[in-house]
Amino acid sequence: MPQSEPPIVLYHYAYSPFARRVVWYLHLRGIPYTQCLQPPILPRPDLARLGIKYRRIPVLSIGRDVYLDTRLIIQKLEQLYPSVPNLGASDAEQKAVERLLEHLSIDGGVFSAAMRLIPADLPLLKDPKFQKDRADFTGERLTRGDAAALRPEAVNEIRLVMDLLETTLLADGREWILKTDKPSLADIEAVWPLHWLAGMPGALPADQVSAERFPRVYGWIARFQKAASAAKAAQPKTPTVSGEQAQDIIAKAPFNEEEGDVDVGDGLATFHGLAKGRKVALWPTDTGANHKDVGRLVSLTPAEVVIEPEAEGVQVRLHAPRHGFRVRPAVEAAANL
């Protein structure tokens, strides 16, 4: 692994299933990183000191570029370290399977069903501070009765996705989704919400979702856990730093990417008059939408938007995927778009 690669800092907390996607990715590929551990609820001053308002976890910096959303984070990591084999597929059909599994897990309802299955009697869930924080995150506040009423549909969603894997991709007894020798990105894209639920006592009713009903799926989840643990054990211990230390690492690092441009032909840019340098607001559209980042627009492409947030300590470039995020002139966003 070349020593000249820009430093990577992962802001996360251990039981975030989204963060685990990235942690597994880094371990399975053998990419060294530093972690800055975050509290499970706001405030997160370590991110605020980078000028970041985004409230979701994980966030990853590569050099002085900061990336939001695991979909973009993983795609960026795929481009980094070309000397080490990628985890993503190179064959077009396999790439399609990988990306469709990503959509299924994140946009297709699997994760939101999984969230509804967290047992209501977990001590954390009973904490009023946690409840208030998550109402801000999801935009809904469910009573115990509402949550119980939504549970059977959520169980069914999980049963459907397990059935799909059991009877299609895993049906022939293969070890990994794309018949690779080791777990690939396609395995990460499909396994993470199921691995999360399978390891959460009380989340899934055993008479409907179990290793007996879905032996291939449960076998694959266990195999994945073993491979991920072995990959982690093969790495040097991940250093943990404070928010101040993380900021220092980032402030001293060069940018990971060239500064891009705003694609002025893009319909969004034309409609809203988004030009390079314009002050814009950026936020996710599904969860955490109350937390808007404001900064100068650096680049806008079909896949990605980059802004420079207003910060006192360190000037980072903040990258978000276009999919699932909204960008608007800051004045309009302030007027409550």
Question: At its nearest, how many Å lie between ligand GSH and the CB of residue 48?
Answer: 13
Question: At its nearest, how many Å lie between ligand GSH and the CB of residue 337?
Answer: 21
User: Toward ligand GSH, which CB reaches closer, 71 or 116?
Assistant: 71
User: Toward ligand GSH, which CB reaches closer, 107 or 263?
Assistant: 107
User: Toward ligand GSH, which CB reaches closer, 56 or 279?
Assistant: 56
User: Toward ligand GSH, which CB reaches closer, 106 or 280?
Assistant: 106
- If you search the block for the tokens 């980059």, which residue do you land on? 306
User: Toward ligand GSH, which CB reaches closer, 57 or 158?
Assistant: 57
User: Toward ligand GSH, which CB reaches closer, 98 or 170?
Assistant: 98
User: Toward ligand GSH, which CB reaches closer, 180 or 287?
Assistant: 287
Question: At its nearest, how many Å lie between ligand GSH and the CB of residue 43?
Answer: 10
Question: At its nearest, how many Å lie between ligand GSH and the CB of residue 65?
Answer: 16
Question: At its nearest, how many Å lie between ligand GSH and the CB of residue 306?
Answer: 17
Question: At its nearest, how many Å lie between ligand GSH and the CB of residue 49?
Answer: 17
Question: At its nearest, how many Å lie between ligand GSH and the CB of residue 70?
Answer: 4
Rg (CA), the chain: 20
| Residues that bind ligand GSH in the complex, under the rule CB under 6 A | 16-18, 40, 55-57, 69-71, 106, 137, 287
Instruction: List all residues 6 or more positions away from 90 whose beta carbon is below 8 Å from its beta carbon.
Output: none
Residue sitting closest to ligand GSH (CB): 56
User: Toward ligand GSH, which CB reaches closer, 18 or 220?
Assistant: 18
Question: At its nearest, how many Å lie between ligand GSH and the CB of residue 264?
Answer: 28
Q: Are 147 and 112 in contact (CB under 8 A)?
A: no
Q: Reduce the secondary structure of the chain to three states and give it as a string.
A: CCCCCCCEEEEECCCCHHHHHHHHHHHHHCCCCEEEECCCCCCCHHHHCCCCCCCCCCEEEEECEEEECHHHHHHHHHHCCCCCCCCCCCCHHHHHHHHHHHHHHHCCCHHHHHHHCCCCCCHHHHCHHHHHHHHHHHCCCCCHHHHHHHHHHHHHHHHHHHHHHHHCCCCCCCCCCCCCCCCCHHHHHHHHHHHHHHCCCCCCCCCCCCCCCCHHHHHHHHHHHHHHHHHHHCCCCCCECCHHHHHHHHHHCCECCCCCCECCCCHHHHHHCCCCCCEEEEEECCCCCCCCEEEEEEEECCCEEEEEECCCCCCCEEEEECCCEEEEEHHHHHCCC
